[in-house]
Structure 1
Amino acid sequence: MENSVDTLWFEIRNAFDMTQVAEGLLDWMPRLLSAFMILVLFWALWRMILRALAALLRRGGIDATLSMLIQSAAKVTVLSIGVVSALGQVGVDITGLLTGVGVLGLTIGFAARDALSNMISGFFILWDRPFTIGDLIEIGGSYGRVDTITLRTTRVVTVDGRMLAIPNTEIVNNTVTSYTNFPHLRLDMAFTVAVTEDLSKVRRSALSICEGDNQLMDDPPPAVVVTALNDYNVGMELRAWLKDENTHIPARLALRERLFEALRSAGIEMPFETLSLTPIEVYGPVTEPKEKTPRS
Structure 2
Amino acid sequence: MLELLAPLEAFAKDHLGLPHWLLAPLLILAVALLADLTAWLITWRLGPLLQRTRSRWDDAVVMAFRRPLRVWIWGFALLSVAAFLVARFELDWSDGEAIKIRSLFTLLMLAWVGLRMVKQVEQRLLFPPPGHPAKPIDASSASAISKVVGASVLVVVSLLALERLGVQLSGILAFGGVGGIMVGFAARDVLANFFSGLAVHLDDPFKVGDWIRSPDREIEGVVEDIGWRLTRIRTFDSRLLFVPNSAFSTITVENPSRMHHRRIFQTLGLRYQDMTQVRAVVAAIREMLESHEYIDHDQPMLVNFTGVGEHTLDVMLHVYTATTDWAEHQDIQQDVLLRIADILDEHDAALALPVRELTLNQAIALEASEHDTSSSDNAAAERPPEPGGDQPKGQGKLRGDEAASSSSNATQDNDA
TM-score when normalising by structure 2: 0.47
1:158-216 CA-partner distances (Å, limit 9, x unpaired)? 2x4444444444444333333332453232223344674544223145347658866x2
Residues 137, 179 of structure 1: 8 Å contact kept: yes
Q: Secondary structure at the match of 1:120?
A: helix
Residues 192, 236 of structure 1: 8 Å contact kept: yes
Paired residue for 1:82, among 157, 163, 166? Answer: 157
The alignment's C-alpha RMSD in Å is 4.6
Q: CA deviation at 1:36?
A: 4.9
Distance 1:54 1:254, change over 3 A: closer
* Aligned match of 1:28: 97
* Aligned match of 2:139: 64
Residues 114, 150 of structure 2: 8 Å contact kept: no
Structure 1 CA distance for aligned equivalents of residues 358 and 142 of structure 2: 66
1:92 aligns with 2:171: no
Q: Secondary structure at the match of 1:127?
A: helix
Identity %: 23
TM-score when normalising by structure 1: 0.61
Q: CA deviation at 1:60?
A: 6.7
1:41-80 CA-partner distances (Å, limit 9, x unpaired)? 6666776777678757864743223322322321222232
Give the unaligned 5+ runs of structure 1: 1-17, 279-296
Q: CA deviation at 1:110?
A: 3.7
Structure 2 CA distance for aligned equivalents of residues 26 and 117 of structure 1: 47
* Aligned match of 2:204: 129
Aligned residues: 257
1:75-123 CA-partner distances (Å, limit 9, x unpaired)? 2222322232232233224445566677776556544534443343333
Q: Secondary structure at the match of 2:264?
A: strand
Q: Greater Rg, structure 1 or structure 2?
A: 2
Q: CA deviation at 1:155?
A: 0.2
Paired residue for 1:150, among 207, 226, 230? Answer: 226
* Aligned match of 1:250: 330
1:226 aligns with 2:296: no
Residues 197, 268 of structure 1: 8 Å contact kept: no
Residues 207, 222 of structure 1: 8 Å contact kept: no
Residues 205, 263 of structure 1: 8 Å contact kept: yes
Distance 1:221 1:198, change over 3 A: farther
After TM superposition, the structure 1 = structure 2 runs for residues 192-211 of structure 1, keeping only pairs within 5 Å, are: 192-193=269-270, 196=275, 198-207=277-286, 210=289
Q: Secondary structure at the match of 1:177?
A: coil
Higher strand share: 1
1:261 aligns with 2:341: yes
Structure 2 CA distance for aligned equivalents of residues 82 and 148 of structure 1: 31
Distance 1:149 1:83, change over 3 A: closer
Residues 104, 161 of structure 2: 8 Å contact kept: yes
Counterpart AA for 1:149:
D
Residues 225, 231 of structure 2: 8 Å contact kept: yes
Distance 1:253 1:183, change over 3 A: closer
Give the unaligned 5+ runs of structure 2: 1-88, 129-133, 360-416
Structure 2 CA distance for aligned equivalents of residues 188 and 143 of structure 1: 24
Structure 2 CA distance for aligned equivalents of residues 61 and 172 of structure 1: 28
* Aligned match of 1:217: 295
Residues 223, 231 of structure 2: 8 Å contact kept: no
Residues 118, 153 of structure 1: 8 Å contact kept: no
Distance 1:48 1:139, change over 3 A: closer
* Aligned match of 2:5: none
Structure with the greater relative contact order (CA < 8 A, sep ≥ 6): 1 or 2? 1
Distance 1:31 1:110, change over 3 A: same
1:257-296 CA-partner distances (Å, limit 9, x unpaired)? 5277347534446558889999xxxxxxxxxxxxxxxxxx
